[in-house]
Structure 1
Amino acid sequence: MTATVHAIVDLDVTGHRINRHIYGHFAEHLGRCIYDGFWVGEDSEILNVRGIRSDIVEALRALNIPNLRWPGGCFADTYHWRDGIGPRDERPRIANTNWGDVVENNHFGTHEFMDLCEMLGADAYVNGNVASGTVQEMAEWVEYLTRGDDSPMARLRRENGRDEPWDVPFWGIGNEPWGCGGNMTAEYYANEARRYGHFSRGHGENKVTRIAAGASDDDLNWTRALMSSAADCAGCMTGGDLPYEAITFHYYTHSGEGINTEDATRFTDEQHYGTIAHAADIDRVIRGHVAVMDSYDPNDRMSLICDEWGTWWNVEEGTNPGFLFQQNTVRDALVAGIHFDIFHKHARRISMANIAQTVNVLQAMVLTDGESLVLTPTYHVFEMNKGHQDALQLATHLRETPTRTVGKKELELVSMSASAKGDTALISLTNVSVDEECTATVDLRGREARVARARVLTGDGADAYNDAETPDRVAPRALDAVVRDGVLTATLPPHAFATVELELA
């Protein structure tokens, strides 16, 4: 069977800018994300530059990676940055009690991370330690990174081989303080965020966006506590100094049965649709947080960040349960496509998002095994969608779309978003149906357009994935799409993500 979807895109009605940082990434000291992922060491036979794996850098640069969050995650609130500076053979070994209870040698620290960001051409998002650290420790880390004169921390940085300060535009004030980051109450953490934020200021010309650690899922009380605390600062919401410029929330996707309760590659149709419905529900969650923020901050001085998102499945058989290594299927790619459509929709408030995580952990971009590197289906969604970065929203209207009842709700089986940049536009379409193709007809209004390129990502099933033996089983291929008399027509296979690039007149 072939379903149909009808939509309208107003090519001359632009909205908010889609911040490129919505396409951000996350690298925690977890499993094989850093060690045996990004970091192989200078003595490795795997091609590297100063210990950083070259093929990973090349793959991520192709995505126009805008930012990278580090060192956590839960690890951030046990990490003391001075352990990771100075000669590597003199750095103390530490126990990573959050993830796998392994001992690491701290060979990847501040200088290595900033070196990685420079190789990637990505902005640094450094997450500070609130739970087990101190205000002074965090303030000195900011100084070490960003100050250019002869202050004590600037001198220490120079002693460790870096003369000029770095630009660090994003600074996280702890992580998940309601859980692994200290088991705090919302009110207690809100006070701590104000205190830490006060001392975590950029130096010189480096302007730091201070990011307060926010809610899990739809905990609106946590957002309310942070916004209320910020509003208590005299004049904060009407032009005065903010204690922090952004707040976060975390949202992990599963089929409704809970995190880490089912397999990445073996699932039923019901679990597939449950997963898609859970992914789509992030729209409701964002709307709730935005409503709270609007009530305190009608002038949009503070932004909302989803700095951990993605699927969370059982680890692959035979791997360390604490390393969170999972395969990545077409289903995961569809989750990514839906998330981006929703992030685009909320571009007024959403200024950043960070998928968890970049290498070998959870919904990764790349998977490595020795010298082999595999690009996942999710990687290809990021690549196909990169034209949305810093583009302007386009008014998009789904007039007719197939649906399916999941639980007590109706799930739309096609998701869509569009943006424009100069004389080009990009339309993204996701067909989440397991077994029905879908013909989309899109009225393109306001400007003439022609198809410059159209691509589709799918596989033999929603459970299809790439591995070292078949690295291109799920990869973009050409899609037959045409514009006639102002109407774009394309037929999407089942379980497929597609993009159509337009040239505008």
Structure 2
Amino acid sequence: MPQDQSTAIIDLDVPGPRISRHVYGHFAEHLGRCIYDGFYVGEDADVPHVRGIRTDVVEALRALQIPNLRWPGGCFADDYHWRDGIGPRDQRPRMVNSHWGDVVEDNSFGTHEFMDLCELLGADAYISGNVGSGSVAEMSEWIEYLTRADDSPMAALRRENGRDEPWKVPFFGIGNEAWGCGGNLRVEQFASLARQYSTYVRNHGENTTYRIAAGASDADLHWTEVLMRSFDALDDPADADKPGDPFQAISLHYYTMTGPWQDKGSATEFSEDEWYLALQRAAFMERLLTRHGQVMDRYDPHRRIGLVVDEWGTWWNVEPGTNPGFLYQQNTLRDALVASVHFDAFHRHADRVVMTNIAQTVNVLQAMLLTDPETGALVRTPSYHVFAMNTPHHDADSLAVHLQGVPTRTTDGAELPLVSASASVSGDRAHVSLTNLDAEAERTIVLDLRGREVTGHEGRVLTAPELATHNSPDAPDAVAPVALESVRPHERGLEVTLPAHSYATVSLTLA
């Protein structure tokens, strides 16, 4: 095999676990310009909107087939009291957003506005409930307010506030980062609270809620183990197809950065070594999923409990001149490849990973969209394009990809494979994702396609002249996907040449 060539063996007729579309979920917190000036501009704004919600943001996210949206946090969730965000906006009490910029929050975007946003997006709601400073009764009343149809007290209150029919709320988070900003709890304390609070997030009428308990940070396997011990027996084969009780999933948070917490690294000014370091740390997600999954398997051999990675992505130093509490950062080609590496890992763990949520959707951290406060322009980031290119993976069956002849680079004390890949199949279509992490050299990949006849193919590629290239109002398409012309027939299937530092997809038509 030539030195610049690798092989990806894919059995197209051996489907694996299904990749839930919810792996491509999003996250919106009351943080910086994510909600206000991101999603929501108010009903008096000059920017085109529907009931105060930006039209261009909705259109851009609908193009991604956004499956779900997590709200109101994050750390903000455990300071949020939902009754402050209902009723006439001019009568809603204000609060201090102590976590993010110490600014005053006027609660003009609350439950009704969020559920309106989800309906405009065609996305499922993922509500994050307040365990840190809230009460069991408060959480119980919120789910009743949202989902009950009859004349119960909370349903009647919802109608007073202008909404007759209940909403569907498929996902509900039991706290957030309970080990930190969500209460500084020990896991033994939180495990009991998670059972208690989950019990009162009831299923009303036809609404069935999937409850997600706040899980571990990074490699805290002890947190995962104690939560798994808190379940009643999960190993009975007779219950293998039943969801867990009283909650059905636990979460995991992990962020990619190249420096310490106090100096996480620049979003746009980084060396080649920092390029590889970021990608190595992104690839660490694979190890986290494996290790947490092994702990979960010990107590849950039938995999009744889901793993939800509801905060992930890059976290860099804020852009110079912006509020340090608003977490605004630029988004480069490097961020796009961080995303592609994560998705490959999520696809490989589709039997356990039921949902993920990138942090965050607009104007915060690894955002899909940036809104310019001066011009009102909307910018689609390189990360946005990875999500767009991957939509065929939604609810498709995963396919194992066996890579051979992949070069590696020693980075951060570990070997980083310079090619990442995953694949899926749905009916007569298959979709292959390929990432060349090499900063300088192109790479040819032979797609050894077995088991089904391939009758057609189409490729797309995302790359840029420089590693730090990013999009802006002046150059909105500096990083944008184009047709991948270097896909050629090969005796074993197809041959694909990937440019240096690129992400590509190859869609296959099958007989």
- Shorter-chain TM range is over 0.9
Match of 2:423 among 418, 421, 424: 418
Q: 1:379-423: CA deviations, max 9, x gaps?
A: 000000010000001121001111111132211000000000100
Displacement of 1:461: 1.3
Q: Deviations over 1:1-23 (max 9, x none)?
A: 98221111111110000000000
What code does the residue aligned with 2:105 have? E
Instruction: Give CA-to-partner distance per residue, 1:13-43, whole Å, 9 cap, x none.
Output: 1000000000000000000000011000010
The equivalent position to 2:504 in structure 1, one of 463, 482, 498, is 498
1:348 paired residue among 346, 351, 360: 351
* SS in structure 1 at match of 2:16: strand
Residues in 1 aligned to 2:263 and 2:202: alpha-carbon distance in whole angstroms:
38
Give yes or no for contact 1:146–1:165 (8 Å, CA) kept in 2.
Answer: yes
- Structure 2 match to 1:143: 144
- Counterpart CA distance in 2 for 1:487 and 1:140 is 57
- Between 443-452 and 337-346, the greater mean CA deviation after superposition: 443-452
Asked whether the equivalents of residues 233 and 242 of structure 1 are also in contact (C-alpha less than 8 Å), the reply is no
* Unaligned residue ranges in structure 2 (runs of 5+): none
Map residues 82-481 of structure 1 onto 2, 5 A cutoff. Answer: 82-231=83-232, 242-255=245-258, 257-258=260-261, 260-370=263-373, 371-480=376-485, 481=487
Deviation at 1:487, TM superposition (A): 1.8
Q: What percent identity do the matched residue pairs reach?
A: 61
Maintained 8 Å contact 2:250/2:306: yes
Report if the CA contact (8 A) 1:237-1:296 is conserved: no
Structure 1 gap segments, 5+ residues each: none
- Helix, strand or coil at the partner of 1:92: coil
Give the Cα–Cα distance (whole angstroms) in 2 for the partners of residues 108 and 353 of structure 1: 24
With over 3 angstroms needed to count, the CA separation of the structure-2 counterparts of 1:240 and 1:19, relative to structure 1, is closer
Aligned-partner Cα distance in 1 for 2:449–2:59:
36
Kindly provide the amino acid, as one letter, of the partner of residue 462 in structure 1.
L
**What residue is the counterpart of 2:51 in the other structure?**
50
Can you list the C-alpha shifts for 1:117-174, whole angstroms capped at 9, x where unaligned? 0000000000000000000000000000000000000000000000000000000000
Once residues 122 and 493 of structure 1 are traced to their aligned partners in structure 2, the CA distance between those partners, rounded to angstroms, is 35
CA distance in 1, matches of 2:285, 2:235: 33
Letter in 1 for 2:47: I
Counterpart residue type for residue 452 of structure 2: R
TM-score norm. by structure 1 comes to: 0.98
Residues 82-116 of structure 1: CA distance to partner in whole angstroms, max 9, x if unpaired?
Answer: 00000111111111111000012111000000000
Shift of 1:357: 0.2
Name which of structure 1's ranges 468-477 and 240-249 shifts more when overlaid on structure 2.
240-249
Aligned CA distance change for structure 1 residues 363 and 255 (closer, same or farther; 3 Å): same
1:489: Cα distance to partner? 0.9
What SS does structure 2 have at the residue aligned with 1:225? helix
Amino acid at match of 1:503: T
1:401–1:256 distance in 2 versus 1, CA, 3 Å:
farther
Q: By how many angstroms is 1:451 displaced?
A: 3.9
1:489 maps to a residue whose letter is E
Q: Deviations over 1:349-385 (max 9, x none)?
A: 0000000000000000000013200000000000000
Is the 8 Å Cα contact of residues 235 and 301 (structure 2) preserved in structure 1? no
**2:12 aligned counterpart, secondary structure:** strand
Q: Distance in 1 between matches of 2:167 and 2:317?
A: 38
**CA separation of 1:84/1:330 partners in 2, compared to 1, >3 Å: closer, same or farther?**
same
Instruction: Please tell me whether the aligned partners of residues 448 and 486 of structure 1 are also in contact (alpha carbons under 8 angstroms).
Output: no
Give the total of aligned pairs: 505
Could you tell me how far 1:222 is from its partner in structure 2? 0.2
Q: Which residue of 1 aligns with 2:80?
A: 79
- Counterpart CA distance in 2 for 1:274 and 1:257 is 13
Of 484, 493, 499, which residue of structure 2 is paired with 1:487? Answer: 493
Letter in 2 for 1:482: R
1:261, 1:241 → 2: CA distance? 38
Report the equivalent of 1:20: 21
Query: CA 1:419–1:79 in structure 2 vs 1: closer, same or farther (change >3 Å)?
Result: same
Q: Are the aligned partners of 1:438 and 1:493 in contact in 2 as well (CA < 8 Å)?
A: yes
How far has the Cα of 1:448 moved from its partner?
1.2
How far has the Cα of 1:462 moved from its partner? Answer: 1.3
Deviations 1:208-258 (A, max 9, x none): 000000000110000001000113699897658611000000010012544
| CA-based RMSD | 1.6
Secondary structure of 1:14's counterpart equals coil
**TM-score normalized by the length of structure 2:** 0.97
Query: 2-side partners of 1:271 and 1:495: how far apart?
Result: 14
